[in-house]
Amino acid sequence: MPVLKRLWEYTRATQIWNSIFRHGPMDTARNRGLAVLTNVFLHLHPVKVRKSGIRLRFTWCMGGITFFLFLVETATGLLLMFYYHPTVEYAYVDIVDLREQVPLGIMRELHRWGAHAMVITVWLHMLRVFMTGSYKPPREFNWNVGVLLLVLTLLLSFTGYLLPWDQLAMWAVTVGSNMARATPLVGHEGPGAPLLKLGDITLVHAGNDARFALLGGRFVGAGALLRFYVLHCVGIPVVAMVLMAVHFWRVRKDGGISGPV
Amino acid sequence: MAFVDQIKDIVNWLSSPPRFFLLSVIAFFAVLFPGELGPAWLRRLTRPLAAIYRPRVAAVLFGFLGLLFFLSFRDPNFLLIVGKPDNVPIAAMIFLVGFFVWYSLQQGRLNDRLQESGQPVVEKQEAGDPKVLVWPDLVYTEFLCMILWTVFLIIWSIFLKAPIEEPANPAKTPNPSKAPWYFLGLQEMLVYFDPWIAGVLLPGLIILGLMAIPYFDTNPKGNGYYTFKERRLEIAIFLFGFVVLWVWLILIGTFLRGPNQNFFGPYEYWDAHKLVPLINIEFSQLMWVKLLKMPLPSNPMAREIFGLLVVGAYFLVLPRIMGRFWMKRHYEKMGPPRFYVMAFLLLTMLSLPIKMLLRWTMNLHFLVFMPEAFFNI
Ligand code: HEM
Ligand code: HEM
């Protein structure tokens, strides 16, 4: 294919190409290094790594797979946001429409199965990190960031679970959020709450306790749907992204993927 | 057919939680420490289990379990529950967790053997000097991995439709009502503890306990490579929590808990009218009325004195004994404050299986039952 080859060489010589990729075209070790260093996405990585660290047998790629699934969730979730209204009138109908009206539509499926998969891979990633002892000094702090990421992943999945607004969604969230009622002091059925009184007035009741704050109401209703939607699509993803940035940065600062001394 | 039905009956019978749980715990320790725990006869009995760490034996066992699993789909009741779209990833999780736990233990044993014969561990041999370049060596693996996952997710999404049930209806409570699957372990704890303990305190302690692991584990060995021998206790504790108390409880909650939160075997029909007698009894009742043949004292403190003593001994005296005898090395290395926090979290974790056993064997409701003070354990 001499024509294609010529075209390729021509493209690489253009000013446009050279303004994007800041290293020469030759396949040298120096340029391979620059390929990583001069790319904002790739520079999450160091230029060189210990061979054992990138072996499948060591990390199982589980952290990377979890991150990839998060990206898949962000992309598919964004597309779903175009069609979905977080209101009691429309939420369910929108989901049914996605199912019935979109030929070959699999965005909802990708989002839901991706979410399930992400929960499982994050657990397996934790298992790997434990079994290789990679939480030991100097990586104690990154393990802690990881635990927070695990909690956020579960919360993301929990808030998303409500959005289809069907029986499964509503009652799963009802069961899940009922626990908040029993929070010590701030849940109206929790220990200590009855003691919080001003004269005859109970300070903590079903209309202002922890569950009420979570659901924006006494029941899983319109308020809860909106709250969960905002948390699911903006609040938690933003926090998770910040923590992931810290997590990846720390992997590097702690000396790269762990290995025997 | 009669033969198949008999097998199903046996499996159903075995999956009642007391049997299933005991069997799982025994299997867990037998597989983790084959030929190492218990009296001589038990050690002789469990020694052959070490064969499971040979890849060929494990492959045959895995294949057999997989076959059994797929054949089970011919059973309508099994198909109905396990075949639910949302439950498919959970069924897959059984095999994934099984495989990866096995794999990490197997790699650990491999490294242990290498070290015994004076060679460096695999990770050291592969450390590679000089290091390799990220582009292309790592980027290429990542790229491949992403493509494979994309293909996998798309195929999964084409063949399995995301479920949607009837519209939400606050007036119609489904039976059973379950939390999302990854929280079913927590929902399971609600059976044994009060909501504020099972739903707030224990989840908080789980997160705290996980975060504290790096500060409790003072063993400098086994950092950055698989090993079993150098970290036996740590691995046993973590895997017990992860496999038995987390994944296993999720499986129970997903596949075996049916209407009215009653238990059903995997091949059993989820009958909403199944009647299970409720005969739970308080510890105070057991001690004062049954054992001492006395009426219950009216003062709550006096009434619950036995339960308070047991719980007090468990949380206050036992850590001391652990520090003095069983975990003496850990105690000396960690120092008292750290050790006692660790012991408290460990004992809290173990209180769940203990409470489950007490419920199943003695129908014990609560050891300490003081609704007056929100204090039921
Ligand atoms: C920035 C990222 C995300 C955005 C913008 C987003 C957006 C959405 C939207 C609009 C829905 C409603 C549509 C529907 O129910 O099908 C939804 C549902 C859902 N989301 Fe997300 N999401 C994001 C990330 C995640 C992550 C990381 C997880 C899991 C760990 C997750 C789990 C779920 C679940 C389980 C549902 C219910 C799925 C269903 O039944 O269709 N989401 N999400
Ligand atoms: C959203 C969740 C998470 C993402 C996206 C993520 C991502 C990653 C990635 C890409 C790595 C590089 C090595 C590898 O792939 O194994 C890594 C390493 C690490 N992760 Fe995570 N992780 C997450 C959750 C967790 C959790 C739950 C824990 C522990 C409780 C954890 C602890 C660690 C530690 C200690 C390392 C360093 C391991 C080493 O140097 O060998 N992470 N993480």
CA dist., res. A154 & res. A118, Å (int): 9
B5: in domain: yes
pLDDT top residue among A190 and A173: A173
Domain total in chain B? 2
Among A114-123, A188-197, B230-239, B293-302, the least confident range: A188-197
Report the alpha-carbon angle A211-B90-A219, nearest 5: 20
B246: in domain: yes
Q: Are residues B22 and B76 in the same domain?
A: yes
pLDDT top residue among A29 and A143: A143
Q: Are residues B205 and B147 in the same domain?
A: no
Q: Which amino acid is at A16?
A: I
Residues of B in contact with A55 (CB under 8 A): 126
Q: Are residues A165 and A53 in the same domain?
A: yes
pLDDT at A120 over 90: yes
B174: in domain: no
B263, B256 contact by CB (below 8 A):
yes
pLDDT in tens, A25-39: 777 888 888 888 888
Q: Are residues A21 and A80 in the same domain?
A: no
Q: Do A166 and B162 touch (CB under 8 A)?
A: no
Using CA coordinates, name the residue in chain B closest to A117.
B89
pTM over 0.95: no
Q: Which residue has the CA at smallest separation from atom 25 of ligand 1?
A: A73
Which of A69, A161, A166 is closest, CB to CB, to B167? Answer: A166
Q: Are residues A127 and A218 in the same domain?
A: yes
The greatest distance separating any two alpha carbons of chain A, rounded to the nearest whole angstrom, comes to 91
B78: in domain: yes
Confidence class of residue B241 from pLDDT cuts 50, 70 and 90?
A: very high
Q: Are residues B242 and B345 in the same domain?
A: no
Give mean pLDDT, residues B166-176.
91
Closest of A69, A194, A196 to residue A120, by C-alpha: A69
CA dist., res. B347 & res. A150, Å (int): 23
pLDDT value at residue B133: 83
Mean pLDDT, chain A, whole residue set: 91
Residues of A in contact with B179 (CB under 8 A): 172, 175-176
Q: Are residues A38 and A66 in the same domain?
A: no
B112: in domain: yes
Q: Do A172 and B177 touch (CB under 8 A)?
A: yes
Q: How many angstroms does the Cα of residue A146 sit away from the middle of ligand 2?
A: 6
Distance from CA of A66 to the nearest CA of B (A): 11
pLDDT at A224 over 70: yes
pLDDT at B120 over 70: yes
Confidence class of residue A23 from pLDDT cuts 50, 70 and 90?
A: confident
Which of A36, A64, A180 is closest, CB to CB, to B135? Answer: A36
Give mean pLDDT, residues B276-304.
87
Q: Are residues B284 and B191 in the same domain?
A: yes
A261: in domain: no
A260: in domain: no
Confidence class of residue A1 from pLDDT cuts 50, 70 and 90?
A: confident
Dihedral sign from CA coordinates of B250, B235, B103, B53:
negative
Q: How many angstroms does the Cα of residue B177 sit away from the middle of ligand 2?
A: 34
- Please name the residues in contact with A201: beta carbons below 8 A apart, sequence gap of 6 or more: none
Q: Are residues B155 and B113 in the same domain?
A: yes
Q: Are residues B261 and B335 in the same domain?
A: no
pLDDT at B258 over 70: yes
Closest of A229, A96, A111 to residue A173, by C-alpha: A229
A1: in domain: yes
The alpha carbon torsion through B91, B92, B95, B98 (nearest 10 deg) reads -90
pLDDT value at residue B129: 66
B162, A168 contact by CB (below 8 A):
no
Closest of B215, B373, B201 to residue B300, by C-alpha: B373
Q: How many CA atoms lie within 13 A of B99 on its CB side?
A: 15
A84: in domain: yes
Q: How many CA atoms lie within 13 A of B5 on its CB side?
A: 2
pLDDT top residue among B126 and B145: B145
pLDDT at A193 over 90: no
Which of B180, B187, B201 is closest, CB to CB, to A161? Answer: B180
CA dist., res. A165 & res. A167, Å (int): 7
Q: Are residues A182 and A121 in the same domain?
A: yes
pLDDT at B130 over 80: no
CA dist., res. B351 & res. B347, Å (int): 6
Give mean pLDDT, residues B343-349.
96
Q: Are residues A140 and A234 in the same domain?
A: yes
Q: Do A69 and B149 touch (CB under 8 A)?
A: yes
Probe ligand 1: pick from A99, A120, A232, max atoms within 8 Å of CB? Answer: A232
B287: in domain: yes
A144: in domain: yes
Q: Are residues A53 and A3 in the same domain?
A: no
Confidence class of residue B67 from pLDDT cuts 50, 70 and 90?
A: very high
Report the alpha-carbon angle A124-B17-B315, nearest 5: 75
Mean pLDDT, chain B, whole residue set: 91
Q: Are residues B255 and B354 in the same domain?
A: no
pLDDT value at residue A42: 83
Q: Are residues B103 and B50 in the same domain?
A: yes
- Helix B17-32 and helix B2-14: axis angle, to 10°? 80
CA dist., res. B126 & res. A53, Å (int): 9
Give mean pLDDT, residues A39-46.
82
Q: Are residues B3 and B97 in the same domain?
A: yes
Q: Which CA distances in Å does B37 have to A86, B25, B239, B244, B375?
A: 56, 13, 17, 19, 37
The response to whether residue A246 sits with its C-beta less than 6 Å from ligand 2 reads no
Q: Are residues A168 and A226 in the same domain?
A: yes
Q: Are residues B319 and B376 in the same domain?
A: yes
A169: in domain: yes
A63: in domain: yes
Q: Which two tokens stand for residue B142?
A: 């990542």
Domain carrying residue B57: 1-126+134-163+225-273
Q: Which residue has the CA at smallest separation from atom 42 of ligand 2?
A: A146
The greatest distance separating any two alpha carbons of chain B, rounded to the nearest whole angstrom, comes to 79
Output the domain CATH number for residue A173: 1.20.810.10
pLDDT at A237 over 90: yes
B318: in domain: yes
Distance from CA of B210 to the nearest CA of A (A): 7
Examine the fold and report which residue of B213, B246, B273 is the final residue of a domain before the chain moves on.
B273
Domain carrying residue A33: 1-48
Give mean pLDDT, residues B38-50.
90
pLDDT value at residue B1: 63
Q: Are residues A92 and A154 in the same domain?
A: yes
Q: Which two tokens stand for residue A136?
A: 């030991």
Distance from CA of B177 to the nearest CA of A (A): 6
pLDDT value at residue B279: 80
Q: Are residues B217 and B292 in the same domain?
A: yes
CA dist., res. B238 & res. B230, Å (int): 14
Q: How many angstroms does the Cα of residue A99 sit away from the middle of ligand 2?
A: 35
Q: Are residues A162 and A243 in the same domain?
A: yes
A36 near B CB under 8 A: yes
Report the alpha-carbon angle A210-A216-A217, nearest 5: 90
Q: What is the 3-state secondary structure (H, E, C) of chain A?
A: CHHHHHHHHHHHHCHHHHHHCCCCCCCCHHHHHHHHHCCCCHHHCCCEECHHHHCHHHHCCHHHHHHHHHHHHHHHHHHHHHHCCCCCCCHHHHHHHHHHCCCCCCHHHHHHHHHHHHHHHHHHHHHHHHHCCCCCCCCHHHHHHHHHHHHHHHHHHHHHHHCCCEHHHHHHHHHHHHHHHHCCCCCCCCCCHHHCEECCEECCCCCCCHHHHHHCCCCCCHHHHHHHHHHHHHHHHHHHHHHHHHHHHHHHHCCCCCCCC
ipTM tops the 0.85 cut: yes
pLDDT in tens, A194-223: 888 888 888 888 888 889 999 998 889 999
CA dist., res. A47 & res. B238, Å (int): 34
- Please name the residues in contact with B223: beta carbons below 8 A apart, sequence gap of 6 or more: A133, A134, A136, A137, A258, A260, A261
B171: in domain: no
Q: Are residues B232 and B140 in the same domain?
A: yes
A259: in domain: no
B168, A219 contact by CB (below 8 A):
no
pLDDT value at residue A39: 84
Give mean pLDDT, residues B134-138.
81
Give mean pLDDT, residues A66-80.
97
Q: Are residues A110 and A158 in the same domain?
A: yes
Q: Are residues A87 and A35 in the same domain?
A: no
